[in-house]
């Protein structure tokens, strides 16, 4: 068993958590949404400054909530090394390095998207943990949209990714165009639940291509053209129709390609992870596809979809348990299938 304390500060959440393997003992997430909302998006310099103020109290809370008195009770420390906003990452990384030096504990750098992969196997006092078994991961966040074959720990193969905007970014940009504030995903999701997904025929980018690539920038342009032609929706019902139609276009492409990936690889499970995995339309469409084609669909509970440190700690705990050496040689911009993600002895 590996007990790990992790810090996550790659974007606008300061988070710390303690896990024992895949079981969450504490998970603290301090969001900066209020700081950035008035600017319509994350302001990197403000994010770094707020991480600085929050990181030490958040780490202390995570330790206390896990019932731990001392750092000696841990086997390792972990931190998100990238990708993310570099100033924001630096706060978490330097705090973790300082703790590692002070305590003598090994420090494991974790790729943010590998963390999201582990969000689907977390357990806590409300649900059992899972083993990491081979599956297709649909990684959908504010910065990434990727279909990844997860063969095992550190063995990730990217099948395809977005050529332009990430799915979460598309939701955020749509919300901005509609004057719905930041972040856009949750509010578009809520309104979409009241609207007609067939009201407006938005384009399904790259859906007919025989690959696993995505493109969402044309969809954003289509929304802009729609608003220029028809004006802003003049009622809540009209707004809900726009949101439902926009969301349906994103969900259709994501689920179509994820389904194709499961079929092509003959795997039996699809995990939908990342902030956009909180989307109700996406969750239900993925589950319907799994039921129709006979594969398992795992969507983490909402508390582990958005950025958190429990997923980072679980990814690190798996590395510690597998005997991989800890390293303070951190990388802020690796792709998830980079050779440095793999076990030292693997080819």
Residues making contact with ligand KG4 (CB under 6 A)? 11, 141-143, 168-169, 171-172, 183-186, 189, 274-276, 278-279, 306-307
Among the listed residues 149, 178, 307, 341, the single contact to Zn ion using CB under 5 A: 307
* Among Zn ion, ligand KG4, none, partner that 185 touches (CB below 5 to 8 angstroms by kind): ligand KG4
**Do the Cβ atoms of 279 and 255 come closer than 8 Å?**
no
Give the β-pairing of 23-31 and 13-20. antiparallel
**Do the Cβ atoms of 227 and 241 come closer than 8 Å?**
no
Strand partners of residue 109 = 79
Element (H, E) at 147: strand 145-152
CA–CA separation, 27 and 14 (whole Å): 11
Q: How far is the CB of 42 from ligand KG4 (least distance, A)?
A: 9
Q: How far is the CB of 66 from ligand KG4 (least distance, A)?
A: 23
> Which residue, 58 or 242, has its beta carbon nearer to Zn ion?
58
By CB under 5 A, residue 172 contacts Zn ion: no
Among the candidate windows 137-145, 146-154, 227-235, 331-339, which touches Zn ion by CB under 5 A? 137-145
- Give me the sign of the Cα torsion angle 277, 332, 220, 232: positive
* Among Zn ion, ligand KG4, none, partner that 278 touches (CB below 5 to 8 angstroms by kind): ligand KG4
Helix (H), strand (E) counts: the chain: 10, 10
> Which residue, 124 or 146, has its beta carbon nearer to ligand KG4?
146
> Which residue, 99 or 286, has its beta carbon nearer to ligand KG4?
286
By CB under 5 A, residue 81 contacts Zn ion: no
Of 175, 193, 183, 171, nearest in space to 232 by CA:
175
> Which residue, 109 or 186, has its beta carbon nearer to ligand KG4?
186
SS3 164: coil
Q: Which residues bind Zn ion (CB under 5 A)?
A: 141, 307
């Amino acid at each position: 068993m590996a007990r790990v304390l992790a810090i996550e500060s790659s974007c606008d959440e300061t988070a710390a958590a303690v896990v024992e393997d895949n079981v969450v003992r504490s998970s603290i997430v301090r969001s900066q949404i209020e700081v950035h909302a008035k600017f319509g998006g994350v302001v990197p310099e403000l994010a770094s400054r707020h991480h600085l103020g929050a990181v030490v109290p958040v780490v202390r809370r995570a330790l206390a909530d896990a019932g731990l008195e001392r750092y000696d009770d841990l086997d390792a420390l972990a931190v998100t090394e990238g990708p993310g906003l570099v100033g924001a990452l630096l706060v978490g990384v330097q705090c973790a390095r300082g703790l590692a030096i002070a305590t003598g504990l090994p420090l494991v750098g974790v790729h943010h998207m590998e963390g999201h992969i582990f969000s689907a196997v977390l357990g806590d006092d409300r649900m059992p943990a899972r083993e990491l078994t081979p599956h297709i991961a649909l990684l959908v966040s504010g910065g990434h949209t990727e279909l990844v074959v997860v063969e095992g720990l550190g063995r990730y193969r990217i099948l395809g990714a977005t050529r332009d905007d990430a799915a979460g970014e598309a939701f955020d940009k749509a919300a901005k165009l509609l004057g719905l504030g930041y972040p856009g995903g949750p509010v578009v999701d809520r309104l979409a639940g009241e609207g007609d997904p067939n009201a407006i025929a938005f384009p399904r980018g790259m859906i007919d291509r025989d690959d696993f690539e995505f493109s969402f920038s044309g969809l954003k342009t289509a929304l802009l053209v729609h608003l220029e032609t028809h004006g802003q929706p003049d009622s809540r019902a009209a707004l809900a129709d726009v949101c439902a139609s926009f969301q349906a276009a994103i969900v259709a492409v994501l689920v179509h390609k994820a389904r194709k990936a499961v079929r092509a690889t003959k795997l039996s499970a699809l995990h939908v992870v990342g902030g956009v995995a909180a989307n109700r339309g996406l969750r239900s469409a993925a589950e319907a596809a799994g039921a129709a084609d006979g594969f398992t669909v795992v969507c983490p509970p909402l508390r582990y979809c958005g950025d958190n440190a429990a997923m980072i700690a679980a990814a690190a705990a798996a590395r510690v348990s597998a005997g991989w050496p800890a390293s303070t040689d951190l990388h802020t911009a690796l792709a998830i299938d980079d050779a440095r993600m793999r076990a030292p002895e693997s080819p």
